[in-house]
Amino acid sequence: MSSLSVSLAKQEFLLEAVKQSYEGFLLADPSGRIFYANQAVETISGISNDEIVGKTAKEMEEAGIIISQSMKVLKKDPLTISQKLCTGVEIFITSKPVFNNSGEIICYVSNYRELSSLNGLHKEHHNQLNINYSELQQLRAQLLKTEDWIGSSYKTKALKEKVAKVAKTEAILLIIGESGVGKEVISKTIHKISNRNNEPYIQINCGAIPESLMEAELFGYEKGAFTGAVTAKPGLLEVANGGTVLLDEIGEMPLHLQVKLLRVIQTKEITRVGGTSTKKLDIRFLAATNRDLKKLVEQGKFREDLYYRLNVIPIKIPPLRDRKEDIPPLSQHFLSKYNVKYSTNKHISDDAKRVLCEYSWPGNVRQLENTMEQLVILSETEEIRLFDLPKEMIKENTTEIEDEIIPLKQLRERSERKMIKLALNRYRSIREAAKYLKVDHSTLVKKIKKLGI
């Protein structure tokens, strides 16, 4: 094979490698006009390369492809540009000029990455626990596929990543979140993928057991320990030996029992009520609360030493209103569940879906599930329509202005902002939203900037 043939073959290999790279790769002429983009650019951005190739960054911004960007003038030094696209993806671009033998710039070569992915990698790097990587990947895949834990928003994925890292450790976890947010689901998931998954899982609701009975329920009692104790009985901690215990609503535990719980956690031993001998335990403790334990410590309602013993690794679950991308899959999951239960075939109208997604859900996932069961039972047609929804949801989604006098310009801007938000939520692109709002694409882009959407 001649040297020319070898050179051409190497060029073909190089071009094919660039085409198949997982990282976005762009080439732009000296004026900044893009003349090449590999397939990864389209995959990362969600925008066809036909809409990118042939344009400058400024032209893409004017066309509504780029919503916001950190622009820098192209020059001889390497630079970085961050851009937010109409698809909602944030892009991080590093660009470097390419010179000919005369020192003239002949083009710019740029790497194209998704910013959220970079942030995720950075976070993972700084929080890496000592777990085998291949095993961790299997846990992540298992968590993403689990039917119990529905959700694919960025915050939910980040939470699943953290749970995957700590599940197989023996660390005590403090699961924090509002009522109904899914603390029990996460606790069960941790047990399911832990090394104790074949052992007992016991959930103890510290707020549901009467204070007078809690000590006996937790630690058990010996025969004759109190009136009515005709036989000895093991406590819940003893029953859970070898497995996992979730101390739910831990903030409700009485102070005098907090001392005994702390001793159990530290010594892994219990003494039954009325007993004298100790029993060894092997338990992985999880705790859950919807209260601010730090504030309870300051108020003298929760022991500081127990707080720090439990708060080894906090698992904070964001409320549903902060991860609205999870509402559609959760709604569909519960709809399917209750369609099966009640032998129905209900589906949700687009307008009803929009209101469900915009509602603040103070009761979180539990409220969403109860609402879907209610809608399946009470809606009179197979389609669950807007007026089938609970009144408080519709009211919250409606701007009340009857008792408010505001300038007409402000009222017009408020109405425009609401309609544009609804259109952007419903349709996939600014261009499509403009079509249904019956305005020019460029006009809609300007309004989005003006109204700060």
Mean pLDDT over the full length of the chain = 83
Is 50 exceeded by the pLDDT of residue 17? yes
The structure tokens listed for 106 are: 């002949």
Q: Are 435 and 397 in contact (CB under 8 A)?
A: no
Query: Range with the lowest mean pLDDT among 39-43, 183-187, 404-408?
Result: 404-408
Report which of residues 282 and 276 the model is more confident about: 282
The pLDDT, as a whole number, for residue 131 is: 44
CA-based nearest residue to 301, from 252, 259, 264: 252
Q: What is the mean pLDDT of residues 344-348?
A: 93
- Which neighbouring-strand residues pair with 65? none
Is 90 exceeded by the pLDDT of residue 330? yes
The pLDDT, as a whole number, for residue 439 is: 87
The DSSP letter of residue 88 is S
Is 50 exceeded by the pLDDT of residue 380? yes
The pLDDT, as a whole number, for residue 133 is: 46
The CA-CA-CA angle for residues 384, 385, 389, to 5°, reads: 85
The pLDDT, as a whole number, for residue 147 is: 52
Block residue for tokens 């707020």? 207
CA-based nearest residue to 112, from 33, 18, 29, 30: 18
Q: What is the mean pLDDT of residues 431-451?
A: 83
CA distances 291 to 226, 251, 322, Å, are 34, 7, 18
When pLDDT is cut at 50, 70 and 90, the band that residue 250 belongs to is very high
Query: Range with the lowest mean pLDDT among 81-90, 206-215, 362-371, 438-447?
Result: 81-90
Block residue for tokens 């970085």? 80
Q: What is the mean pLDDT of residues 389-412?
A: 68
Q: CA 367, CA 396: separation in Å to the nearest integer?
A: 16
Q: What is the mean pLDDT of residues 42-52?
A: 85
Helix, strand, coil: what percent of the chain each, to 5? 45, 15, 35
Q: CA 71, CA 82: separation in Å to the nearest integer?
A: 8
Is 50 exceeded by the pLDDT of residue 401? no
Report which of residues 357 and 16 the model is more confident about: 357
Q: What is the mean pLDDT of residues 343-350?
A: 92
pLDDT in tens, 208-232: 888 888 888 999 888 877 777 778 8
Report which of residues 108 and 71 the model is more confident about: 108
Report which of residues 185 and 82 the model is more confident about: 185
Q: What is the mean pLDDT of residues 324-336?
A: 93
10 Å Cβ neighbour count for 80?
12
The DSSP letter of residue 313 is E
Question: How would you class 405 by CB atoms within 10 Å of its CB: exposed for 0-12, middle for 13-18, buried for 19 or more?
Answer: exposed
The DSSP letter of residue 440 is -
Q: What is the mean pLDDT of residues 261-269?
A: 93
CA-based nearest residue to 42, from 27, 22, 62, 59: 22
Q: CA 149, CA 438: separation in Å to the nearest integer?
A: 40
Q: How far is CA 392 from the centre of its chain?
A: 26
- Which neighbouring-strand residues pair with 85? 66
The residues, any chain, with a CB within 8 Å of residue 199's CB and separated by 6 or more, are 242, 243, 244
pLDDT in tens, 356-370: 998 999 999 999 999
Is 60 exceeded by the pLDDT of residue 453? yes
pLDDT in tens, 109-150: 888 877 655 555 445 544 544 444 455 455 555 554 555 678
Strand 24-28 to 90-99 pairing: unpaired
Which residue spans within 115-241 are E strands per DSSP?
173-176, 201-205, 220-221, 233-234
Is 80 exceeded by the pLDDT of residue 404? no
Among residues of the chain, what percentage have pLDDT more than 90?
Answer: 37
Which residue pairs from 122-128 have beta carbons closer than 8 angstroms and sit at least 24 positions apart in sequence? 123/158, 124/161, 127/162, 127/165, 128/165
Report which of residues 269 and 142 the model is more confident about: 269
The DSSP letter of residue 273 is B
The residues, any chain, with a CB within 8 Å of residue 159's CB and separated by 6 or more, are 186, 315, 317, 318
Q: What is the mean pLDDT of residues 275-291?
A: 92
Block residue for tokens 């009485």? 254
Report which of residues 261 and 450 the model is more confident about: 261
The pLDDT, as a whole number, for residue 83 is: 78
Burial 145-165 (b: 16+ CB within 10 A, else e): eeeebbbebebbbbbbbbbbb
Q: CA 416, CA 249: separation in Å to the nearest integer?
A: 44
When pLDDT is cut at 50, 70 and 90, the band that residue 67 belongs to is confident
DSSP string of 173-191, one letter each residue: EEEE--TTSSHHHHHHHHH
Is 70 exceeded by the pLDDT of residue 398? no
The structure tokens listed for 433 are: 């939203």
The pLDDT, as a whole number, for residue 41 is: 84
Is 70 exceeded by the pLDDT of residue 99? yes
Query: Range with the lowest mean pLDDT among 91-105, 133-147, 249-263?
Result: 133-147
Q: Are 113 and 102 in contact (CB under 8 A)?
A: no
The pLDDT, as a whole number, for residue 1 is: 55
The enclosing H or E element of 92 equals strand 90-99
